[in-house]
Structure 1
Amino acid sequence: MRLPSTAHTSRPWRIHELAADFRLEDVWAMPTPGGPDDLGRLVRQFADGTGDYVDSPVPRLLFAIRWKLGALLGWDEPGTSVGARVPTLRDRLPADLREGLRGPDFRAFTSVYQTHDEWAAEMGNKTVHGVLHIGWVPDGAGGHRGQMAVLVKPNGLLGRLYMAGIKPFRYLGVYPALLRQIGREWQANAGAGSAG
């Protein structure tokens, strides 16, 4: 379920001090019910993921089109990534986060830091520098769940046009399918954990 921006901005996340120059693009509640200490389990699920980003046909097609366009237009060339075109957010970390748990990299994302209740990973290409922020929040019913925020810093006019162009696809196809898949994996892993 999509959430208002305040669901992210009102929380005392460490990402606020590190990514103040990024724009908050999206905030979503994740179907990952759990206890107060389950963020690590959710992070491992992201990092251990195999196969497509999403397993639904329409979002898979959208990702395939995006990767093809990126290859044709040079959006994802090696010199456009974090550490090449843009500096990593790890360079901004205060000592306690730099010396703490970093968290795992996954796919095109490089982990920035992980705490007890938040994890941030970044990616960059010719269009944007993006941050995926996963927070672990009380669910209002005595439990906890994940909350996903996407922060971006568009790269000039190209980046702004790109973000505007993909917005309807993100809302109508990609995020709903992604969240359903995360929820299914979360439930399957809970069953496997209790069976083992």
Structure 2
Amino acid sequence: MRGWRGSRWTGCARRGSLGWRCRTRSSRTRTVFRRRRGGWSSGRRGPRGAGADPLAGYVPPAEVADAERAGRYPLALISAASHEFLNTQFGNNPELRRRAGELTVRVHPDDAASRGLAEGQRVRVGNERGSFEAVLRVTDQVRPGVAATAKGHWPRFAGGANANAVVDERATDLGGGPVFHDTRVEITAAG
């Protein structure tokens, strides 16, 4: 089987590396994959090369593990990526908004029952930082104590707010990204 520009996978296995002719000033063959113990490696810098400890430690979540906060806001909100949008990119595209449907929040049947909420009901998801409205989906695909929604819905197309309204403005410990999976909320009937 031919690989990149004349490389053969059989030769790759025999030599232990895959050469790739790329357009550079010298136009020489450059090794892009090298066989290492346990598999193949691209030779890119790992955590140690980026200045991080190669053995990741455990840092407990700031909100989800806080027992006092859990008393006020008993549901851990997970804001996963939407299947239709790339974060908020394309969130204004009418066809993709049609495919995505309304902003929803999914909860376990026990959590919905204990709050007197029903499938398809419009609900308010909130904490002291803010709130957003969504359509409730009741499913056992979500664990008790967890609420799940999707990122990517633009506030102006989602009733004025989305999951960003309830997420803290601090950064994650590793990577410095948003804390979409470390948020506590309560869900009530909208009205």
User: Relative CO higher for 1 or 2, CA cutoff 8 Å, sep ≥ 6?
Assistant: 1
Question: Of the two, which has the highest radius of gyration?
Answer: 2
- TM-score using structure 2 length: 0.23
More strand by share: 2
